[in-house]
Amino acid sequence: MNIKFQNLGLTDYKKTWDLQEKLFDEILKAKLIGSNDMPENKLLFCQHPHVYTLGKSGDKNNLLLSEEFLKQKQASFYQINRGGDITYHGPGQLVGYPILNLDGLGLSIKDYVFGLEETIIRVLKTYGISGERSDGETGVWLDIKNKHKARKIAAIGVRISRMVSMHGFAFNANTNLEYYNYIIPCGITDKGITSLQKELGREVDVKEVEECLLKQFEAVFRVAVL
The residue from 99, 158, 177, 186 that is catalytic is 186
Banded pLDDT at 202 (limits 50, 70, 90): very high
pLDDT category at 199 given cuts 50, 70, 90 is: very high
**Which own/partner pairs from 26-31 qualify as long-range (CB within 8 Å, at least 24 positions apart)?**
27/99, 27/100, 27/101, 27/164, 28/161, 28/162, 28/164, 31/101, 31/103, 31/162, 31/163, 31/164
Count of domains in the chain? 1
Concerning whether 212 is annotated as a catalytic residue, the answer is no
- Over the stretch 112-154, which tens digit does the pLDDT of each residue have? 999 999 999 999 999 999 999 999 999 999 999 998 999 999 9
CA distance 110 to 127: 26
Q: What is the pTM of this model?
A: 0.95
* Average pLDDT taken over every residue of the chain: 95
Residue span of the structural domain in which 217 resides: 2-225
- Average pLDDT (188-200) is 90
Q: CA torsion 178→184→188→193, rounded to 10°? A: -10
Q: What pLDDT is stored for residue 210 in this prediction? A: 98
One-letter identity of residue 50: H
Q: What is the CATH number of the domain that holds 72?
A: 3.30.930.10
Question: CA-CA distances (angstroms) from residue 28 to 36, 59, 190?
Answer: 13, 29, 38
Nearest to 213 by CA among 42, 45, 92: 45
Nearby residues of 41 by Cβ (< 8 Å), 6 or more positions away: 1, 2, 3, 4, 27, 98, 99, 100, 101, 104, 105, 223
